[in-house]
Amino acid sequence: MESERTNSSTPKGRGVNFSAPRSFFLKFSCKCKETFFPDDPFKPISQEPNGLMKTKKTLQYFVPIFEWLPKYNLQKLRYDVLAGITITSLAVPQGISYANLAGIPPIIGLYSSFVPPFVYAVLGSSHTLAVGTVAACSLLIAETFGEELLKTDPNLYLHLIFTSAFVTGVFQFALGFFRLGMLVDFLSHSTITGFMGGTAIIILLQQLKGVFGIVHFTHKTDVVSVLHSVFSHRDEWKWQSSLAGKKIKPQLFWVSAMGPMVVVLVGCLVAYLVKGTEHGIKTVGPLKKGLNPPSIQYLTFDAKYLPLVLKAGIVTGLIALAEGIAIGRSFAVMKNEQTDGNKEMIAFGLMNIIGSFTSCYLTTGPFSKTAVNYNAGTKTPMSNIVMGFCMMLVLLFLAPVFSYTPLVALAAIIMSAMLGLIDYEEMYHLFKVDKFDFVVCMSAFFGVSFISMDYGLIISVGFSVLRALLYVARPSTCKLGRIPNSVMFRDIEQYPGAEEMLGYVILQMGSPIFFANSTYVRERILRWIRDEPEGVEFLLLDLSGVSSVDMTGMETLLEVRRILVSKGIKMVIINPRFEVLEKMMLSHFVEKIGKEYVFLSIDDAVQACRFNLSTTAKPEP
């Protein structure tokens, strides 16, 4: 028999394994495990010998503080206390500044750096991430709800922001609980780079309102509208605000971490001594002492505003997740540590849910605060706990001091922070390495800058999805040749020295074959055959890179075989992967082409074609 002759020519132990296909339940469970638990987090727990240790490991997995706290010591505490105090000095001015961006009372910005850090310290997996509010999400929240609502009903505006924080928390928690972190992957590195850069531009321009003391300012955020508003209200420019900005801003460069706090304190002192409010210098206004009041009773799910709440909660939740997880991972790599994306989602989610109950708005892991935390030498999440206690002291005793903070000082702090978010070097790097990634980045950058934040994000994600679809619909295929004096076969375009074999076309498929790309795969294979200058006797298809195939894909391969058979060409399948081979057997694909036409390696197939298949009868279509 032909199959016996083929097997006899194949080296012992190297034949294709045509074992019985696995059951549906086994395949489904394996696929779910690989999809939702690629890191197999419960394996270390199952390997523990007794129930007590399993309980301990389970508790440490779900509540990370139980993993690092038993190993804690005074030496680590010294570093964490220093880091915690340092990031508090950044949290106070940033909290006030970003609350101003969101259009909410400054005290809410301070509240948002008190409760959430305690939650993250218990549940977060990063030892470096510092919790706080961020400029991009603050502005996006303000843009979503609109300045008109803020002016007509500021209390409702604030309650809707608390509600959007609750929605954000539920959304983030659900993503982590159901292991759906893959959704965040659609916000690619290029998208985030462009989005943060574009956001920095519009936030910088928004600060011109505070720098010049303009009263009537546009509600829009795009570059054209903002610049038009600035220059069309030149009669409102106040030299006192600009002068204060010149006096204060240079203080930012004393020390990177303490600079913002120095700016605020100097600004408060100047405004108090010269009675700035009487001379046109706008200040933050009254700040009351006291800890976060409960806000759960203010959560509003009125059907009239629910679409806005859902939009603000979900969009800012995705952005905050992508930014926080990316920043946490970046600093974890620098310390040779690992962070768990799904744990981070659960931590962020509960942080925002509890925050929405305690007068906080959206919080995540901002880059500037995390960088300061890292440089200050933090060892564990205890630095967040220290920051929380320090913020408690500020709220109880020092909050009224910051009521004299000039708005121009906050503008200077924000402008200084935003300059670091425009990553010119990374954009140039994208241009050099991958032009499509550069287009994705620039679409976010210019979309945010000249249209709006949400449209800029949608356009950029749209380009990213388009690219993914192109990869799927137009998979890569390459022609292989033998490397001289070896049994290795490589892409002849990448290795020009690889030798093509007369009478053979050896193709390597590099992606799943299914309904979306089957027509392209068929046309591409036939074109390879058509372009051969000499007669072709064998087509060898290397399927080692094909992770899956559907019925349309298998019918396409059978159709290609029928076309080739009519031309006297034999098609050979090489190294189909486990899942692919199972489907081929269940659909009787293997029976139709014959087991003798399926091989483990290209070299085995070439040898069999030379000595066995070339002498067999012409295969049936």
Residue reference for tokens 């349309």: 552
In a domain, 537, yes or no: yes
- Residue 513 backbone dihedrals phi, psi, to 5 degrees: -110, 110
Q: Which of 423, 441, 468 is the last residue of a domain?
A: 423
Arithmetic mean of pLDDT, 576-599: 90
Q: Residue 45 pLDDT > 80, yes or no?
A: no
Mean pLDDT of the chain: 83
Per-residue confidence band for 278, with pLDDT thresholds at 50, 70 and 90: low
Is 279 in the same domain as 389?
yes
Indicate the SS3 state at residue 26.
helix
Q: Which of 408, 423, 438 is the last residue of a domain?
A: 423
* CATH assignment at residue 612: 3.30.750.24
In a domain, 30, yes or no: no
- Residue 594 backbone dihedrals phi, psi, to 5 degrees: 95, 135
In a domain, 471, yes or no: no
Is 406 in the same domain as 535?
no
Which residue would you say has higher pLDDT here, 248 or 525? 525
Is 83 in the same domain as 154?
yes
Indicate the SS3 state at residue 560.
helix
Is 390 in the same domain as 529?
no
Total of domains in the chain:
2
Is 535 in the same domain as 411?
no
Is 237 in the same domain as 373?
yes
Judge contact between 128 and 369, C-beta under 8 A: no
In a domain, 433, yes or no: no
591, containing H or E segment: helix 589-593
Indicate the SS3 state at residue 481.
strand
Per-residue confidence band for 9, with pLDDT thresholds at 50, 70 and 90: very low
As to burial, measured by CB atoms within 10 angstroms (0-12 exposed, 13-18 middle, 19+ buried), residue 571 is buried
Mention every residue, 6+ apart, whose C-beta is less than 8 A from residue 254. 262
pLDDT tens readout for residues 424-475 = 889 999 999 999 999 999 999 999 888 887 788 889 989 998 988 888 888 8
Is 342 in the same domain as 483?
no
542, containing H or E segment: strand 538-542
In a domain, 450, yes or no: no
Tell me how far apart the 2 most distant CA atoms of the chain are, in Å: 103
Lowest mean pLDDT among 35-39, 174-178, 240-244: 240-244
Q: What is d(CA 163, CA 539) in angstroms, rounded to the nearest whole number?
A: 62
Parallel, antiparallel or unpaired: strands 504-509 and 598-599: unpaired
In this predicted structure, what is the pLDDT of residue 28?
Answer: 82
In this predicted structure, what is the pLDDT of residue 312?
Answer: 93
Beta bridge partners of 541: 507, 573
Is 488 in the same domain as 405?
no
Virtual torsion, Cα 412, 317, 132, 393, nearest 10 deg? 120
The upper half-sphere exposure of residue 487, i.e. CA atoms within 13 Å in the direction of its Cβ, equals 7
Per-residue confidence band for 316, with pLDDT thresholds at 50, 70 and 90: very high
In a domain, 51, yes or no: no
Range of the domain at 588: 477-617
Q: Residue 68 pLDDT > 50, yes or no?
A: yes
In a domain, 44, yes or no: no
**pTM, 2 dp:** 0.74
What is the radius of gyration, based on Cα positions, of the chain?
31
Q: Residue 321 pLDDT > 90, yes or no?
A: no
Is 495 in the same domain as 369?
no
Which residue would you say has higher pLDDT here, 262 or 515? 515
Arithmetic mean of pLDDT, 518-531: 92
Q: Which residues of 162-198 are buried (b: 16+ CB within 10 A; e: fewer)?
A: bbbbbbbbbbbbebbeebebeebeebbebbbbbbbbb
Is 226 in the same domain as 313?
yes
Is 413 in the same domain as 552?
no
Q: Which residues of 372-411 are buried (b: 16+ CB within 10 A; e: fewer)?
A: bbbebebbbbbbbbbbbbbbeebbeeebebbbbbbbbbbb
pLDDT tens readout for residues 561-574 = 999 999 999 999 99
Is 419 in the same domain as 502?
no
Parallel, antiparallel or unpaired: strands 477-482 and 489-491: antiparallel
In a domain, 24, yes or no: no
Per-residue confidence band for 236, with pLDDT thresholds at 50, 70 and 90: low
In this predicted structure, what is the pLDDT of residue 214?
Answer: 66
Q: Which of 423, 458, 486 is the last residue of a domain?
A: 423
